[in-house]
Amino acid sequence: MGPCQRASRSLGTFWLRLVARRFHGQHALSRLSPLIAYPKAWSPSTNGTIRGEVVFLDVKTTADLDSYKDKLKGKIVLFSPARNVDPLFDPPAHRQTDEELLGLANAEPSADPPPFQFTAEQGAVEELNYRKWQLIQSEGAAVVLQPSFRDAGTVYVTSSTVPYPPDVPFEKRVQAWDISKPVVIPQAIVAAEQYDRIIRLVARGIPVRLEVNISVRFYDDDPMSYNVIAEIPGTDLKDEVVMLGASLDSWHAGTGATDNAVGAATALEVTRILQSLGSKPRRTIRIGLWSAEEQGTRGSHAYVATHLGRRIDPPDGQPGHARFEFKPEYEKFNAYLNFDYGTGRIRGVFLQGNEAARPVFRDLLEPFKDLGASTVSVAGIGATDHMSFDEIGLPGFQWIRDYMEGNNTRAPHTNIDTFDHVLENDLKQSAAVAAFVIYGLAMRGEKLHRKAFPSH
């Protein structure tokens, strides 16, 4: 169980369509054109069908906002300018080439990224967007529409926007899912090409009428998120743990097949293989299926904090370094391997800077050279659940994958993230490779070496 403190939501009814009207003699004729669109996650309802003209918030500076005062109440607002749609010359699916894998094998350890700071230009854009959201809320707009940053009819959904000044750090912001119920305007994402068409019509002075209905239900009686944990007990080293896992959550426009149902399914298949073989690992093999990865790896963070340890940063504005608080299980933990980034084959493993683990993984992956799964890279990759372990000094690793249409290249988070984009043979290879590696780690005489960070 993880202290995510979020309301869950179910989508009942949604439609968005263009309502075109023309006159034939004395009679008004209507033509409906459905639009490819999805509500943002945790968008509230529109409280019925909203039908009316759109207003394009065409502003380039904060001074331009004054011209829209008293003009947005009850309106359907186009928040963003038209999105340029470039032709696609390269196929969206991609397998790691030999040159790319060699580059990973020869990579230097990834440096810790510097604290994020907006450039002056980015800061100006963020400030303008914040002021736009403020105006929309204060004026009482009915719905806000934005274009997808995928194209070809692919709609990439995100979480609803809660406006904050740019200088407020992301981790300090209350998000749309929070049980405190922050003020959120109903919001939807529209296919880029259709959004651009509406912008062009408005620019030519042609009135555009849309009809939108968002009907959702929020469930906040139980604000907790839940992890699923299971294990194959070890034998002589049963108090030590080798762990594998994947996130369970996904976005609502599709079924989350490639992000991350395939990751959870592959992790489950690894444990099924080991169990069906009647294996008796020395160390306990434990699987974790994590909730709320998309909200900041909250499920795996909660597990790590409860069972292994946590990082404690100094209070805001006070000097000092982070300190670490460790649980008794910390010393018995051996390794965690994570399944994410789509439906492609395993090509090796990212060491996350743990160079001492290279010979171990090199030996374990040696039998899979002919399957293209032998690359060991000291480089790191972030933004998923292995980081919850790595950031407190535990050996946490992510597989090197053929990203195919994963890693935000096409399907994940979109309306095409369905079973059609799952590659069965790639997942079979991944399960076989991972089962061998996980079992090998569970049978070794020694635990994996840990990085020097953090000291305790």
Predicted TM-score of the model (pTM): 0.92
Written as one letter, the residue type at 210 is L
- Contact by Cβ (8 Å): 43, 187: yes
What would the pLDDT profile of 251-277 be if each residue is shown by its tens digit?
Answer: 999 999 999 999 999 999 999 999 999
**Residue 26 falls inside a structural domain:** yes
Per-residue pLDDT band at 199 (split at 50, 70, 90)? very high
Same domain, 28 and 169: yes
**Residue 36 falls inside a structural domain:** yes
Tell me the average pLDDT of the chain.
91
The structure tokens 């990224």 sit at 113
Task: Find the Cα–Cα–Cα–Cα dihedral 44, 38, 405, 85, rounded to 10°.
Answer: -120
What proportions of the chain, in percent to the nearest 5, are helix, strand and coil?
Answer: 30, 25, 45
Same domain, 313 and 343: yes
Q: What percent of the chain has pLDDT over 70?
A: 94
- Specify the CATH number for the domain of residue 70: 3.50.30.30
pLDDT confidence of residue 26: 54
Residues 384-400, mean pLDDT to the nearest whole number: 97
Which is higher by pLDDT, 313 or 348? 348
Written as one letter, the residue type at 304 is V
**Residue 140 falls inside a structural domain:** yes
Give the whole-angstrom CA distance, residue 289 versus residue 161. Answer: 27
Structural domain total, the chain: 2
The structure tokens 């759109």 sit at 54
Which is higher by pLDDT, 91 or 359? 359
Same domain, 57 and 179: yes
- Contact by Cβ (8 Å): 227, 249: no
Same domain, 293 and 325: yes
| CA distance to 109, 338, 351, 358, per residue, from 355 (Å) | 8, 18, 7, 5
What would the pLDDT profile of 214-242 be if each residue is shown by its tens digit?
Answer: 999 988 888 888 999 999 999 999 999 99
Give the whole-angstrom CA distance, residue 347 versus residue 95. Answer: 9
Tell me which long-range contacts 274-279 makes (C-beta under 8 A, separation of at least 24): 274/232, 274/435, 274/438, 274/439, 275/232, 279/232, 279/439
Residue 33 has pLDDT above 90, yes or no: no
